[in-house]
Amino acid sequence: MAKRFQPGIVSANDLLSGAVIYLAADGKWVSTMSGAEFITDEERAAERLSLAESQPEIAVGPYLAPADNSDNGPVPNHFRESFRAAGPSAPARKSWGIA
């Protein structure tokens, strides 16, 4: 049985920097999930994923990530996407005084 469609966003990693990127409604790639297009139907999802896949010079490994919508745009509904969106959680280099 096919997996039930879940609303969400299209995300990938930027080819040059490796950074997390999201596909916006105007077809541009943005760096924050809140700027991503929130996709609610399966047909649109396939279309947007196919658009992402046609841009290998920008986007590596595009995929549909489930998300919730909010007044401020899409927000993660799984911790993995939260960490992708926010960056490493660890107060990593506090002992060195590097931000």
Q: Which residues bind another protein (CB under 8 A)?
A: 13, 15-20, 56-57, 60-61, 77-80, 83-84, 87-96, 98
Identity of the residue, 12 or 45, whose beta carbon is nearer to another protein in the bound complex: 12
Q: How far is the CB of 88 from another protein (least distance, A)?
A: 4
Identity of the residue, 69 or 84, whose beta carbon is nearer to another protein in the bound complex: 84
What's the Cα-to-Cα distance from 56 to each of 14, 21, 40, rounded to whole Å? 9, 13, 24
Residue 5 in contact with residue 45, Cβ under 8 Å?
Answer: yes
φ, ψ at 83 (rounded to 5°): -70, -35
Identity of the residue, 2 or 98, whose beta carbon is nearer to another protein in the bound complex: 98
